[in-house]
Structure formats: C-alpha cells, structure tokens
Amino acid sequence: MRGWMLDFAEYVRELLPEELAEPFIALARPAIRLSIAEDRETVVGRLGGLPRLPEGMPWPRAGGGGSAMQFLAELDCAALAAYESDIGLPAEGALLFFATWDGAAAHVILLPPGAVRVPEREVPVSGEARVFSEVPLAAETVCTWPTRGHDDLVKLGDELWDRVVGEEPWEVFADQLAEFAEAEGGRAHQVGGYSDALHWPIEAKAAYAAGLNLRDPGFAAEASQWVNLLQLDEDNGMIFGDGGILIFGIRRDRLAACDFTKIFPYVQGH
C-alpha cells in the first residue's frame, strides 16, 4: 500500500467492518496538497503577485473583452512531477490561473519552459479585481476520498455515512472521518484528487452544466470525464464567497492534450 494512504486505511479499518472498509479504501485517490512554503522547502509555485506573461500576451479578461480577471496562482509542472496525483499534468512548463472576482469565469494558460516573460507590466485591474501578495507554495502528496453524494459511493449506499462507529449513537462514520480530515490539515489548496464538496462534487456539477441531469443515461459517463485541476481555498486575501472554495475543473481528454482553453470554474460556499 502506498505511503500516502496508510493512515487513512488504518483509520477506516478501525471504524468499519472489512466488507465496508475495503471497498471504501479502494476509492482513495492521491492529490497534491499545496501550502505556504516554509524555509528550505521546495517551491512548486506561488499564490498571487503578477502573472509575468510573455511580451504581447494579453491579460485575460472576462468574455474576451470585459473586466480583467484576477491572477490567482502559478504552478511549476516540472516541480510538481515529483509528487503523485491522480491526474496527468504537463511534464514541464508553468500553469497560470486566472478568474473573475466572483469565480463565474476562469482562464488557465500553459507557458512552455523557457518562455521569455515580462516581469513588470501595467496591471489592467478594473472593477472588483485585485492583485494579491505573492507567496511561495510547497507541496506534498495526500490521500483524498469521495464525499457524501459522490457517484463513486453509489454501490456502498448512503447509509455508510450515518453508520454508528462509536460507543454513542451520535458517533457516526461521517463525523469521525471529518475529524480525521481536520487532523490531517483540513481543507486546502489542492491539485487532483477528490475536491471538497460543500454542495455538489465538481464532476457532477460539470456534467449538469453540460446539459445533463441525474436521470440521463450519459450523466455518470460525462461526470467521470471531469477532474480537479486546482482547488483554491480562501487564503492570502482571496475570498470565494462565505467560506468558499474555487475549483478549476477540466475534462480528462483536454488535460491529456494540454488544452486549457475550456475550464469549468466552480465556486462552493455557504
């Protein structure tokens, strides 16, 4: 068993009988957790600052010519290759992430390695857009698992979450697993894996946005094609609603082709 899932598997086996524990453990996926880099940690990207675009490349705007999007993050693909996740990022280059202040529109740019970039340029900030402080990011591989309502859990049944696993009737599996997640660091910036689902999982929301509903035969197939390219938690002055998160969703085929022209942004908040 891989190191990133050892603690998770041990914990689940303590709570559930084998016939439920093993299928649930099998659903675990690795993700790359991003956090503010401490001294001597390997830097794999950054939050905020200026995007440092190549000469002549326009700053992304909503609708092509609307308000300037906010620059949120940059990831070094070659540096991230040292960490395991369940999605295949480009082997090299840099990914730059932009979104409107409300997360209604997003844009991702893949810059090839060695691209000549302009370190300083006029910032076309308008409307609600902001420029955030620049902070470096470090990475680690972590274990993620599906949340309530995810299609991967259909065969296990909804009663799994409300199963009593402690000495008291209120000590149910969902709450115990939430405590484990909090002890492991809680919600975070993340590449790949199961994104946090305060409402719908990103996969289901993207399929619904494509014009399908839960009763359509092709809904599950479409949902399975979507992955979490990047999840950003509220940090470094970034606000995504009331305690929200912003998820950059992308189809697997477009990611495999390094085609970042069609990103599905999804804001989840209270």
CA 179/CA 89 separation, integer angstroms: 31
Distances in Å between the Cα of 128 and the Cα atoms of 48, 115, 121, 124, 156 are 15, 30, 20, 12, 44
More reliable by pLDDT, 204 or 77: 77
pLDDT at 153 over 80: no
pLDDT at 155 over 80: no
Beta bridge mates, 45: 75, 137
pLDDT at 125: 60
pLDDT at 197 over 80: no
pLDDT at 214 over 60: yes
CA 202/CA 196 separation, integer angstroms: 9
Mean pLDDT of 37-46: 95
Task: State the DSSP code for 215.
Answer: T
pLDDT at 131: 86
Mean pLDDT of 37-57: 93
pLDDT at 191: 97
pLDDT at 44: 98
Mean pLDDT of 147-175: 81
pLDDT at 247: 95
**Secondary structure (3-state) at 173:** helix
**Secondary structure (3-state) at 72:** strand
Task: State the DSSP code for 41.
Answer: P
> Is residue 269 packed enough to be buried (19+ CB in 10 Å), middle (13-18) or exposed (0-12)?
middle
pLDDT tens per residue, range 55-110:
889 889 888 678 889 999 999 999 999 999 999 999 999 999 999 888 889 999 99
Mean pLDDT for the chain overall: 89
Mean pLDDT of 253-269: 93
CA 70/CA 166 separation, integer angstroms: 46
pLDDT at 11 over 70: yes
All structural domains of the chain, each given as residue ranges with its CATH number in brackets, are: 3-191 (2.30.320.10)
pLDDT at 218 over 90: no
Q: What percent of the chain has pLDDT over 70?
A: 95
CA 74/CA 102 separation, integer angstroms: 19
Mean pLDDT of 147-152: 76
Longest dimension (CA), the chain: 64
CA 99/CA 51 separation, integer angstroms: 12
Confidence bin at 126 (pLDDT 50/70/90) = low
Confidence bin at 145 (pLDDT 50/70/90) = very high
DSSP string of 110-142, one letter each residue: EEPTT--B-S-------TT---PPPEEEEEEEE
Confidence bin at 241 (pLDDT 50/70/90) = confident
pLDDT at 16: 94
**Helix 18-26 vs helix 6-15: crossing angle, to nearest 10:** 150
pLDDT at 127 over 60: no
Distances in Å between the Cα of 101 and the Cα atoms of 29, 71, 163, 172, 243 are 30, 10, 40, 38, 15
